[in-house]
A and B are shown apart, each in its own frame.
Chain A
Amino acid sequence: MDGTIIVQGSFVVPAAVVVQPIPIACGVDWMYVYNFTQSGNTPGVVAGVQFYWQRGMPNGTAIVTYRTAAAPAVSRVDTLLTGGFTLLDTSNQQPGPANALTAITAANPPVVTSVVVPALGSVVRIMNIPAAQQQQIGGLDFTVTAVAGGAFTIGNINLANSAASNAGFWRAIPFDPIFYPRRRYITFVRSAVQAVIYLSVTHQFAVGQRVRLSFPGGAAVWRNYAVLDGIECTITAVNVARAGAEPTNALGDNNIQVNVDTSLLGAWNVFGAANNEAYPGVGAVPFTPAAVDPVGEDSAFSLTTPLAQVPLNVDGSAVLGANTGLLSDATANLAFIGMLLGTGGNGGQLAAAVTGPAGTAAGDLMFWRAGKSTSGGL
């Protein structure tokens, strides 16, 4: 039929079963996913082996055919209430709703107390911090580096010695800006022969890329480090081990090492009224946050370094759609539309967990088929 588009593909479940994004450029009206590996197994868990969704069904759901856990495994059909298919458009730049926070600790790492907590590894934006408290981070984005009951950690900044906050809001930032590489906020700089620069959000830079450092506002805001404003430099390593008062990130250190000598600039943590904070104090507000701006590639360095030049996500996976190697700096539109395949949830009739279209176990071979229909409605 003219106008019908059918696309297909496959993937192998990585070491951990995680939500799987599937870019489908033409858009999706319906989608099937098959678990080739578990279809022939006695899986040991209640394993979904065939999944179906089409427009009109709620996001996150699926019709699932699953195999029972015990031998002999038999196949049954159910409705997956959560962890199924979710339509995805990563060009959505609208933040989530405002969630109240009741505290941000003056610590390294800072812990945010909130009834609602974001997902580990996601990005949040802090705002509406009361006067004389941690207003210096108002409007900044941070990667969530730990989540516990009623609290989460923003481990890419050291807020020790600042004035703890007792109110405010945070919003979830659903997706990064669509073009790679992205500008990132600087939160800490190591005084060293090769500076190590910490960034508030998982940076995704790669070795060999050229960046320009931006410290607007002069010495009144950035003390000795204001001299770095405008300096262009090469990234010589990423995510080097932290030391001293540097931010403490449970997900792994989030920094870049650059060929700029900051060894004579003194310690970074000299901000605030008492000269003992590791980020400009509330007295500096309003100010322009320091940032790393991507500008290109040091091709001479890139051609000689033995280090991998692969932009990485917070979970260590490669950034989907970004270039690698000598061209890792290339401007690329990483936005896509498609489907998020979930990890499963309770069945409507079974009322117990069924694995989802993202797979059942590491190594599962998954096949999918999706399409746009010529006509018809919900």
Chain B
Amino acid sequence: MGVSLRQTEDQLTRDMLAGTAAFINAVNGGNGDNPTELEITDIQNVVRALLNNNAYTIMDNIEGEDKFGTGPIRDAYFGLASTNVVGNLEGVVGFLQKAAYPAPMNALRSEWGAINNIRFLVSSIGSVTPNASLLGADVYNIFVVGMEAYACIEQDGYSASFIYRPPIYDGPLALNASVGYKFAEVPRITNDLWVINLRTTNV
């Protein structure tokens, strides 16, 4: 139930970003669709747009170390993506798996890797717009966000409550327990210049 509560918050935030945030289609891939699969130029376009908009990166760089197969990680924006795009990400020139970070312990649990100045966090409830490409394929929305680009605003005194009622409160025969949660909050883009939805299809 606790997982459901937090995932519901994530889903609401996801849907707000999908419906209102500015977007850029990936257009440099070769799958013949619109948007296309990701290419490094698409990543660079988004990073450049955020830099031009004075968006702060969220994560500091990870300094390079003398370890085989690793590479330094730049300071980075977060890219919030569906788990279905992991193959798409791995096909981009310059992709670095989190296992190849100099200090993988600094990566987040949901992190998949990094390209340029974006570190990608993937989730099974990442944003997908069904049948929204030229060829009718699912379009994956990758929200590339800078620091404080959006916020979740809770109503006073109404942050998430987890409520359990033992059977004794259910009725004379104490037949049923109940458990549930409630919350009242709204996700909101605080500065629209600091979040860009990079839309892509898979190969």
Contacts and interface: CB of A to CB of B under 8 A. Distances in A.
A256 to B, nearest CB: 16
Contacts of A36: none
A143 interface: no
Contacts of B131: 95, 98, 125, 127, 171
Nearest to B175: A375
A128 interface: yes
B136 A169 contact: yes
Contacts of A250: none
A216 B35 CA distance: 13
A33 to B, nearest CB: 29
Contact of A331 (B16, B24, B34, B169): B16
Interface in A166-215: 169, 171, 176-179, 181-183, 212, 214
Interface in B15-38: 15-16, 18-25, 27, 33-36
Interface string A319-361: 0000000000001110000000000000000000000000000
Contact of B186 (A95, A129, A332): A332
B23 to A, nearest CB: 7
A178 B19 contact: yes
A138 B16 CA distance: 24
B192 A286 contact: no
A95 B132 CA distance: 9
B37 to A, nearest CB: 11
B135 interface: yes
| Residue in A3, A129, A287, A331 whose Cβ sees the most chain B Cβ within 10 Å | A331
A287 B133 CA distance: 11
Contacts of A93: 15, 129-130
A286 B16 contact: no
A29 to B, nearest CB: 16
Contact of A333 (B12, B18, B129, B178): B12
Nearest to B15: A178
Given A127-B134, A139-B132, A181-B20, A2 B170 contact: yes
Contact of B15 (A169, A177, A285, A289): A177
Contacts of B133: 127, 138-139
Interface residues of B, number: 37
Question: Interface on chain B toward A: helix, strand, loop, or mixed SS?
Answer: mixed
B20 A293 contact: yes
A135 B34 contact: yes
6 contacts: A129-B134, A139-B132, A178-B19, A183-B21, A286-B25, A286-B36
Nearest to B33: A286
Given A178-B15, A179-B16, A125 B21 contact: no
Interface of A: 1-3, 91, 93-95, 98, 125, 127-129, 135, 138-139, 169, 171, 176-179, 181-183, 212, 214, 216-217, 285-289, 291, 293-295, 331-333
B139 interface: yes
Given A331-B186, A332-B186, A333-B186, A125 B132 contact: yes
B22 A293 contact: yes
A106 B174 CA distance: 69
Given A94-B130, A183-B19, A295-B192, A216 B25 contact: yes
Nearest to B16: A179
B171 A285 contact: no
Given A2-B170, A139-B132, A287 B15 contact: no
Interface in B119-144: 129-136, 139
A182 B34 CA distance: 21
Given A286-B33, A331-B186, A177 B18 contact: yes
B139 A293 contact: no
B186 A216 contact: no
Given A91-B15, A295-B189, 7 more contacts: A1-B171, A93-B15, A128-B135, A138-B134, A171-B131, A287-B25, A331-B16
A142 to B, nearest CB: 13
A288 B170 contact: no
Contacts of A129: 134
